[in-house]
Structure 1
Amino acid sequence: MESKRLHASCSRNIGNDSVNKLKMVTRREILAKKKAIQELIKAAYVVKDHIAFSPLFHHYDRNGLSVNLESGRGDKLSVTVKNYIQNLLKQNMEGHYGSEWLVEEKVKRREMVAPEARYIFVQEGIANTNFNKKTMELIAGKTSTSCLENNGPLVGFVHYRFIVEEDMPVLYVYELQLEPRVQGKGLGKFLMQLIELIAHKNRMGAVMLTVQKENLFAMNFYINKMRYNISTMSPSKVNPMIGIESSYEILCKTFNEEAKTTLEDPG
């Protein structure tokens, strides 16, 4: 009997050792994955100009609209640019937020100047001859956000960041805001395609964004024109009862199977 108990005890110990080793391997894998994701995010933020990879993405000239694009970051904005962002946000979004706007506006003001905030600014009124020179300067890294004030009026911007959602590196679009007079000319689609290219080049698993349900124009644009889906993280997917009361949806476009499984609801 004693030998049988010893044998059983040894078997349990061997079994426990195997389980512990498996847990250690799994933990190492989890930590390694998290570290790799953080390295991707860090590398994305190191890039000074996310649209410098091609001069083609510094200019948009279609449908009677001619504008130039320039990169920026939240902690380098001039007072003039800050005021412009605040005014355009209020003009475009106050009606969609309704009574929530007073609180939301304060949040957006803090978000827009964060060091992590990255921008694509849209300007008009720059001659093509100046554009070619400016493109070369941008690629050489000789410009900064401060030059915006001297090169033509702003007519819109994209605010985006590189973050982690559900253990997945994603590019999150905080804002895409255009003045009404430049809307409906394909510029929004061009900017989102550029954002998706930036996400691809920085090895993000998806592009994500939040849209107010009241903003029917934006919902139609992202879902029907840009082929975004409601994310599994959106209130309406997490809990349909809570989702009914929620004022927003979280949308996403994924670029690989892991991201699709984690962030996108095919239903």
Structure 2
Amino acid sequence: MDAEGKIEHRAKKTRREILEKKKSTENVIKAASLVKDHLSKFPQFRHYKRNEFHAHLDSGRGNKLTLATRKYIQNLLKLNMEAPYGSEWAAEEKIKRREMVAEEACYIFVHEILNEASELKGKNSVCRCVGPIVGFVHYRFVVEEEVPVVYVYELQLEPRVHGKGLGKFLMQLIELIACECGMGAVVLTVQRANRLAMDFYISKLRYTISAISPSRVDPLLGPEKSYEILCKTFDPDAQAVFEVR
């Protein structure tokens, strides 16, 4: 094979490898998205009982939310996020309302247990816990920069349950789900004005400002953006893409 033939052969091999990697990534995302209940792999996370707070967690999908649940999400989002978004909230709220009912939107709901007796198990060890929703996580399996990731769209808790360790507990669960499903990272967006959230993710959970965040991509124009993209990576491929080198 002459030099020209070798170059063409390498080019074809490279294209084939790129297509194979893309197909593999798509299959990983599809498999993760088809799982109906990601909590099923982590039964120890079904209940939370710390700091005088007791809760039951369950899973949901955006296209199967009840009207009451949709209204609850809308109200909690407005309560928690209107101030950090400021003048951008009116437009952002419309986007979030569409996002929350999409089929690909995965949820973990936190139900407060008000009566200890409600934790009784049925004959088949099915949890009978009931209680009002006091928070939720909205997450999705997506391809970001050619890497399969869990993207956390929302982590929202009622103000009265803040400071009980629940946010950290939920993010640990999301990270376990990400690893179980073969994702390379957990990625999320935080409003820069939301200083409590920024401190929570960076100082307490050891997330970092990603290399794909506006402030990293363009240090001159980045500060004009109202948000940062944070990440925690789990493999070398994701680390090479998302972490600042």
Please classify the TM superposition score into its range, dividing by the shorter chain length.
over 0.9
Residue in structure 2 matched with residue 24 of structure 1 by the alignment: 12
Residue in structure 1 matched with residue 51 of structure 2 by the alignment: 63
Residue in structure 2 matched with residue 78 of structure 1 by the alignment: 66
Residue in structure 1 matched with residue 29 of structure 2 by the alignment: 41
| Structure 2: runs of 5 or more not aligned | none
Cα distance in 1 for partners of 2:38, 2:221 equals 37
TM-score, reference length from structure 1: 0.88
Residue in structure 2 matched with residue 197 of structure 1 by the alignment: 176
CA displacement at 1:14 relative to structure 2: 1.6
Residue in structure 2 matched with residue 125 of structure 1 by the alignment: 113
Q: In the alignment, is residue 108 of structure 1 matched against residue 89 of structure 2?
A: no
CA displacement at 1:131 relative to structure 2: 3.2
Greater helix fraction, Structure 1 or Structure 2: 1
SS state at 1:35 partner: helix
| Identical pairs, percent | 58
Cα distance in 2 for partners of 1:127, 1:111 equals 34
Which amino acid is 1:81 matched to? T
CA contact (8 A) 1:210 1:251 kept: yes
| Structure 1: runs of 5 or more not aligned | 1-12, 144-149
Per-residue displacement from partner, 1:134-176 (whole Å, max 9, x unpaired)? Answer: 79437xxxx9xxxxxx921110000000000111000000000
Which amino acid is 1:265 matched to? V
CA contact (8 A) 1:68 1:126 kept: no
SS state at 1:38 partner: helix
Residue in structure 2 matched with residue 207 of structure 1 by the alignment: 186
CA displacement at 1:83 relative to structure 2: 0.1
Residue from 144, 160, 163 that aligns with 2:139: 160
TM-score, reference length from structure 2: 0.96
SS state at 1:16 partner: helix
CA displacement at 1:50 relative to structure 2: 0.3
SS state at 1:241 partner: coil
Cα distance in 2 for partners of 1:53, 1:224 equals 28
- The number of aligned residues is 244
Residue from 137, 140, 158 that aligns with 2:126: 137
CA spacing shift, 1:39–1:136, aligned 2, 3 Å = farther
Q: CA RMSD in A?
A: 1.7
